[in-house]
Every structure is written in structure tokens, then in C-alpha cells.
């Protein structure tokens, strides 16, 4: 019980396989949605949601050796991911050497901050879900869809095929 006040302020993240474990002092310093093409591509997702902090406020508890690092030759940013399961774990930008970003989705705990900022908002892809109304898809429990009549008419949609 003596450790309780201290541990209450620690946010914990891990990769999908659990080899890499990170602890961060909570609250996070910032949190943001990242719609940029670079992060979408690196995540294989419509957007990344990051929790940011200073490197001095976080530590890699386990799995440092399992982290593989890729440096983007265009920007100098580094992206570290678990070499065992591929989960993105750290995103460090060249212009902020003391800062680090960790995927919000990797946290098993709260982080003390909501992601209220959006970077690259204008870069959102036409195929990203944008809070359209959805309805159940008949015959597929648990699946919802926007319906055939709701096709979005964005020019880029046509380029996808």
C-alpha cells in the first residue's frame, strides 16, 4: 500500500505481445490526433493518436532491446516499433529532441489528458471514417455500415480502384 500514491501517477503502455513495456508520469504533457500521411502509413491506420511527454518523464521498463528504430530520411523523425509484434511504440521528431510520443492505444491505463489537437487535419484520407451515421448490416451481427446510398462523392474515392 505504501507504493500506491506513487504508482497512481504512472501510466503504463505495452506493445501487443507485451515484450516492450513503458511507464510514463501522468498526466501526459500533450495528446493529439495525427492525420499526416507519414504517420498514417507508418501505423497502417487512418490516423495515429499520440500521447506526448518529455523523455525525462518516461522510461522503457522492459524490451529496450526488442525495439527496432526507423529514421525517416525526409524528416529525421524516428519511429520505434516492437521487432517481435510490430506495434509502433515511440515517435520522436527531429525538431523536439527532448520529446517523445507514444500511441494512445498502447496504454493500458489512463494518461491524464484527452487528445484535443489535430495535426494534418486537411490530409485526412477520403476513406477515413468521419462519424457518418451507421446502421446494422443485415446478416452480420456486430457489423454496421453507412449504407449503399451514402456513398461519399469525393474525387479521390475514384482513384482508389
Interface contacts to Zn ion, rule CB under 5 A: 15, 17, 19, 82, 84-85
Q: Which is nearer to Zn ion, 20 or 28 (CB)?
A: 20
Closest contact distance (angstroms) between CB of 82 and Zn ion is 3
Closest contact distance (angstroms) between CB of 138 and Zn ion is 38
Q: Which is nearer to Zn ion, 19 or 61 (CB)?
A: 19
Q: Which is nearer to Zn ion, 21 or 124 (CB)?
A: 21
Which residues does 66 contact at the CB level (< 8 Å), separation at least 6?
A: 19, 20, 82, 83, 84
Q: Which is nearer to Zn ion, 13 or 32 (CB)?
A: 13
Closest contact distance (angstroms) between CB of 87 and Zn ion is 5
Distance from C-alpha of 132 to C-alpha of 128, rounded to nearest angstrom:
10
Got the DSSP string for 32-63?
Answer: EEE--HHHHHHHTSS-EEEEEEEGGGEEEEE-
Closest contact distance (angstroms) between CB of 60 and Zn ion is 12
User: Which H or E element spans position 107?
Assistant: none
C-alpha cell at 109: 491505463
Q: Which is nearer to Zn ion, 47 or 106 (CB)?
A: 106
Between the alpha carbon of residue 81 and those of residues 27, 42, 129, the distances in Å are 23, 10, 25
Distance from C-alpha of 79 to C-alpha of 136, rounded to nearest angstrom:
38
Closest contact distance (angstroms) between CB of 30 and Zn ion is 25
Amino acid at each position: 500500500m505504501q507504493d500506491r500514491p506513487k504508482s497512481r501517477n504512472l501510466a503504463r503502455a505495452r506493445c501487443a505481445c507485451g515484450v516492450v513495456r513503458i511507464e510514463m508520469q501522468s498526466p501526459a504533457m500533450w495528446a493529439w490526433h495525427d492525420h499526416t500521411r507519414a504517420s498514417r502509413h507508418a501505423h497502417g491506420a487512418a490516423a495515429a493518436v499520440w500521447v506526448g511527454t518529455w523523455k525525462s518523464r518516461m522510461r522503457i521498463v522492459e524490451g529496450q532491446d526488442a525495439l527496432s528504430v526507423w529514421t525517416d530520411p525526409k524528416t529525421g523523425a524516428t519511429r520505434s516499433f516492437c521487432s517481435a509484434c510490430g506495434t509502433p511504440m515511440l515517435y520522436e521528431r527531429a525538431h523536439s529532441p527532448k520529446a517523445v510520443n507514444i500511441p494512445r492505444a498502447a496504454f493500458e491505463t489512463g494518461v491524464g489528458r484527452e487528445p484535443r489537437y489535430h495535426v494534418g487535419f486537411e490530409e485526412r484520407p477520403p476513406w477515413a471514417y468521419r462519424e457518418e451515421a451507421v446502421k446494422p448490416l443485415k446478416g452480420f451481427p456486430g457489423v454496421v455500415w453507412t449504407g449503399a446510398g451514402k456513398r461519399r462523392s469525393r474525387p479521390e474515392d475514384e482513384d482508389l480502384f
